């Protein structure tokens, strides 16, 4: 009798054990179907989503004014993706291939484009009543005129970004050289193996030393800490001995004498800004970069690379000077430089750049609309104005004078960045005012040489094309 009771107890124990195991099964399934579902659905290998997409005509990608960049069409039994603009919008818009997955906007907005609506999925079979046969359309903030102007303005390797400083809308994003997304399947091997990194979006993920284009930030920092004012004179001559092996020169070893901020910015005096960097010191330098958001992740509707900054506490005197002229271990993306520029025409506020304006259904009804957001507030308007004035002199008579365009107010800063590849990268960043808008920009021509000679004229070219199309 005792034994029997014992065995019965054991049986009950085993039952409880199994009930617990079943509970574990249940929890795991809850995790799969509720918590991890979105992740699994966005996995590029998930053919469930693709299959669902097969029955639905994928949505269009459009510019703000409605020009079609990508659309799908049924040919015979298959849906084919067509890109009427060829290379102009790659790799920003990306590609969509059943074999090779997707990239760019095609990837980040895939759930909308393929018509999947995760909320409807939760409804299960009821959701089928509300599902369309068409995917949603994605309308970008990109302006066709600006994009074409930027694309046609240069032929070398590099990147251009134009954005509206007041609201963060990206008006043009060009990365060259790029690929033709129409023939992605046929040319995949060539594209992937090209030494020119055709798939790289140089605007968001190309990482380069900023060179002299960082000088406005250095100036803003020094003004912010009251180390100088706009009339303070510092030694702008060449031949500045910093360490036993380190002599800093201006370009072409020019001597400028004792100069103030405006002159220093216009001629891009390395020694002036090197001295500013030393005045700031490592900690204040680090704080200045933080103030302008260089260590803050940009969470927006496209992936982007965070700037690479050194460990400021470990910087030697010479390295601090290098920071002041944008060399050393500092690496930035063109996107971040355009964001820096935007601060100087928006009272110190940097808006969050974004590229998706709204999601619409086939009939134009808005499903979701993105609105401008502030990314970071930097320094006071007074400091902004002081630095902006000096940047205007860059274009009026300084290193950036080849950007000068009649009737258009432009501020900027050139950069000629030494880098490991040998030939210097040519930079030009800044902003121009046109049609009541303030457009911030950054241009880089890889291994292009002097910023003033190579990059600055490009913006002149772009503005002229825009004026021709849009008038004033």
Cβ neighbour number for residue 366 with a 10 Å cutoff = 11
**Segment contacting another protein (CB under 8 A): 125-133, 152-160, 266-274, 446-454?**
125-133
Candidate residues 67, 79, 97, 121; the one interacting with another protein per rule CB under 8 A? 121
Write down the least CB distance from residue 44 to another protein, Å: 9
Whole-Å CA distances, 14 to 4, 17, 21, 25, 418: 15, 5, 10, 17, 72
Q: Which is nearer to another protein, 26 or 397 (CB)?
A: 26
Q: Does 6 bind another protein (CB under 8 A)?
A: yes
Question: Judged by CB under 8 A, how many residues of this single chain contact another protein?
Answer: 42
Q: Which stretch binds another protein (CB under 8 A): 32-40, 105-113, 280-288, 368-376?
A: 32-40
Candidate residues 78, 84, 86, 122; the one interacting with another protein per rule CB under 8 A: 122
What is the rounded CA–CA span in Å between residue 170 and residue 111? 22
d(CA 58, CA 73): 9
Q: Does residue 297 interact with another protein by CB under 8 A?
A: no
Place of tokens 């269009």: 60
Q: What angle do CA 224, 226, 230 make, to 5 degrees?
A: 90
Q: Is 22 in the site for another protein (CB under 8 A)?
A: yes
Provide φ and ψ at 162, rounded to 5°. Answer: -125, 130
Residue 15 or 397: the one with the smaller Cβ distance to another protein is 15
State the nearest-atom distance from the C-beta of 83 to another protein, in Å: 27
Pattern of binders to another protein over 204-243, x per CB under 8 A?
----------------------------------------
| Residue 30 binds another protein, judged by CB under 8 A | yes
**Applying CB under 8 A, does 14 fall inside the site for another protein?**
yes
The residues in 45-64 that bind another protein, with binding defined as CB under 8 A, are: 45-49, 51-52
CB of 121 to another protein, least distance (A): 5
Establish if 32 lies at the interface with another protein (CB under 8 A): yes
- Per-residue binding letters, 126-165, with another protein (x by CB under 8 A): x-x-------------------------------------
Minimal distance, residue 167 CB to another protein, in Å: 36
Of 118-126, 150-158, 241-249, 286-294, the segment contacting another protein by CB under 8 A is: 118-126
Q: What angle do CA 101, 118, 40 make, to 5 degrees?
A: 45
Whichever of 22 and 374 has its CB closer to another protein, that residue is: 22
Quick check: 10 binds another protein (CB under 8 A)?
yes
Is the CB of 23 or the CB of 397 nearer to another protein? 23
Does the footprint of another protein cover residue 37 (CB under 8 A)?
yes
Question: Nearest approach, Cβ of 37 to another protein (angstroms)?
Answer: 4
Phi, psi of 415 (to 5 degrees): -150, 140
Closer CB to another protein, residue 52 or residue 362?
52
Q: Which two tokens stand for residue 155?
A: 């032929």
* Structure token digits, residue 221: 């920092």
Residue 308, φ and ψ in degrees, nearest 5? -95, 120
20 binds another protein (CB under 8 A): no
Tell me: does residue 7 bind another protein (CB under 8 A): yes
- Residue 29 binds another protein (CB under 8 A): yes
- The smaller minimum CB distance to another protein, of residues 10 and 239, is found at 10
Residues 250-279 that bind another protein (CB under 8 A): none
Report the interface residues with another protein, using CB under 8 A. 3-4, 6-8, 10-12, 14-15, 18-19, 21-22, 24-26, 28-30, 32-34, 36-37, 40-41, 43, 45-49, 51-52, 121-126, 128
């Amino acid at each position: 009798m005792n034994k029997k009771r014992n065995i019965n107890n054991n049986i009950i124990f085993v039952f409880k054990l199994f009930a617990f195991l079943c509970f574990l099964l249940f929890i795991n399934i809850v995790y799969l179907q509720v918590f991890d579902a979105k992740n699994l659905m966005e996995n590029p290998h998930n053919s469930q989503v693709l299959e669902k997409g097969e029955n639905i005509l994928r949505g269009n990608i459009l510019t703000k004014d409605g020009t079609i960049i990508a659309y799908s069409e049924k040919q015979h039994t298959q849906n084919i993706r067509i890109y009427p603009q060829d290379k102009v919008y790659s790799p920003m818009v990306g590609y969509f291939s059943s074999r090779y997955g997707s990239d760019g906007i095609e990837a980040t907005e895939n759930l909308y484009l393929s018509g999947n609506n995760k909320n409807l999925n939760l409804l299960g079979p009821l959701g089928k009543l509300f599902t369309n046969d068409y995917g949603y359309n994605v309308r970008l903030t990109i302006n066709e005129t600006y994009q074409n102007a930027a694309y046609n303005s240069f032929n070398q390797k590099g990147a251009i970004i134009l954005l509206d400083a007041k609201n963060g809308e990206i008006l043009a994003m060009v990365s060259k050289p790029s690929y033709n997304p129409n023939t992605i399947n046929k040319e995949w091997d060539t594209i992937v193996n090209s030494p020119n990194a055709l798939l790289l979006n140089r605007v968001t993920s190309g990482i380069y030393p900023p060179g002299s284009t960082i000088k406005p930030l250095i100036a803003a920092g020094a003004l912010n800490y009251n180390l100088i004012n706009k009339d303070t004179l510092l030694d702008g001559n060449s031949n500045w001995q910093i360490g036993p092996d380190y002599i800093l020169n201006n370009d072409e070893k020019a001597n400028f004498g004792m100069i103030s901020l405006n002159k220093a910015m216009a001629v891009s005096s390395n020694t002036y800004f090197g001295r500013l960097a030393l005045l700031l010191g490592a900690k204040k330098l680090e704080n200045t970069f933080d103030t302008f958001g260089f260590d803050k992740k940009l969470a927006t509707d496209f992936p982007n690379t965070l700037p690479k900054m050194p460990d400021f506490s470990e910087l030697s005197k010479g390295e601090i000077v290098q920071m002041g002229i944008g060399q050393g271990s500092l690496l930035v993306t063109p996107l971040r430089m355009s964001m820096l520029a935007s601060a100087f025409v928006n009272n110190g506020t940097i808006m969050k750049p974004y590229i998706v304006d709204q999601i619409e259904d086939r009939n134009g009804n808005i499903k979701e609309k993105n609105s401008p957001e502030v990314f970071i507030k930097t320094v006071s308007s007074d400091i902004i104005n002081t630095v902006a004035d000096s940047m205007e002199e860059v274009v009026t008579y300084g290193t950036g004078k080849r950007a000068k365009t009649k009737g258009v107010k432009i501020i900027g800063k050139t950069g000629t960045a030494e880098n490991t590849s040998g030939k210097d990268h040519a930079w030009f960043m800044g902003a121009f005012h046109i049609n009541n808008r303030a457009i911030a920009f950054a241009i880089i021509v890889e291994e292009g040489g002097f910023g003033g000679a190579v990059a600055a004229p490009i913006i002149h070219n772009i503005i002229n094309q825009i004026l021709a199309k849009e008038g004033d």
